[in-house]
Amino acid sequence: MPARYLPCVLPIPAVGWSPDRRALRFLDQRALPEREVVCEVAHLDGVIDAIRTLAIRGAPAIGVGAAIGLAAALELDSEGHGSRARDLLPDYAARLAAARPTAVNLAWAVGRLAAAGAAVPDAQLLATLQAEAEAIRAEDAAMCAAIGAHGRGLLRDGARVLTHCNAGALATAGIGTALAPIYAAHADGVQVEVFADETRPLRQGARLTAWELSRAGIAVQVLPDGAAAALLASGRIDVVLVGADRIAANGDTANKVGTYGVALAAAAHGVPFYVAAPCSTIDLATPDGAAIIIEHRGADELGTLPHGVGAWNPAFDVTPSRLVTGYLTDRGLLSPPFDLLRA
């Protein structure tokens, strides 16, 4: 079945080029759902800050933003001179790749630009970096559409879906990963009801998933993370769809903290649990979940705490592959050890 896009899921892409193609343009997700704030940055520090502070978030969107941001920053700071841009490229690429450690798409996209730049002379460097960044953006949008087309068959009319965090249009350059099958089904007139975990500590399910689904006319309810197990036990959920920030070679999957608990509850109650992500999120160089670096964030994101009280605030957790029903990718349903990607 050909992929279909819903019109106007967002008024602008969550991440992309400025109209003059000289800067990174993005919808600042820190302001949602109260305000829709569009930002443009061309300096490297601004790109890094947008990624670190979650103004841009979601593994595919981070990769796209880093690619466009790197190309724009090098053009700006080199004043259009390819030789100067080449001198800056290694440092700029390293600084960007270190902005957030868990999502593999960030280092993957930066590495792809560096490799493309290494293959051309100075006179072609900036144009090559811009073309490669655009290719990454366009490919991500196409991969999202393919994930939606491949996952469409998982959702019958009246399906009830539980999701965790945000893996929709806001997390990508297209219609999303975990939400892509939902958008594809909705475009075909299929009724789908979504239950979105609030997703502590930044409430990305309540603030972002619920916002974009409700704008698209899709039925959505928000529940606190602690209620997910009870909801799964009630028999009111047909399938769980989540995204991923890194999938190890054995299928262990890093996603927003709390995903592991949802997977355990789904397994306990016989509910299928699918991970949706582009193939670029599968990291064959990472053997298993124990090798995934987990980002920790500040105590301030947990709200007001008593004076002198510390916090353990991991941004992600790792779901073992044994709890995953299938990996929904742009190449269809895959299983570890992902031999298709090793050719």
DSSP letters, 123-148, are HHHHHHHHHHHHHHHHHHHHHHHHHH
**Three-class HEC string of 15-53:** EEECCCCCCEEEECCCCCCCCCCEEEECCHHHHHHHHHC
Rounded CA-CA distance 83/262 in Å is: 50
Angle between helix axes 44-52 and 59-78 (nearest 10 degrees) is 160
In angstroms, what CA-CA distances link 282 with 90, 154, 182? 24, 21, 22
Known catalytic membership, residue 87: no
Rounded CA-CA distance 46/121 in Å is: 28
CB neighbour class for 217 (10 Å; exposed up to 12, middle 13-18, buried from 19): exposed
Ordered strands of the 282-283 beta sheet: 282-283, 246-248, 253-256, 316-319
Q: Are residues 23 and 42 in contact, defined by beta-carbon separation less than 8 angstroms?
A: yes
| Phi, psi (degrees; rounded to nearest 5) at 246 | -160, 130
Rounded CA-CA distance 17/20 in Å is: 8
Task: Find the helix or strand (DSSP H, E) in which 87 lies.
Answer: helix 82-97
Rounded CA-CA distance 270/245 in Å is: 25
In angstroms, what CA-CA distances link 191 with 44, 108, 184? 43, 36, 11
**Of 140, 197, 225, 245, catalytic:** 245
Rounded CA-CA distance 246/253 in Å is: 6
- Please report, in angstroms and rounded to a whole number, the separation of the first and last CA atoms in the chain: 26
| Nearest CA-CA partner of 296 in 273, 313, 279 | 313
User: So which residues are the catalytic ones?
Assistant: 245
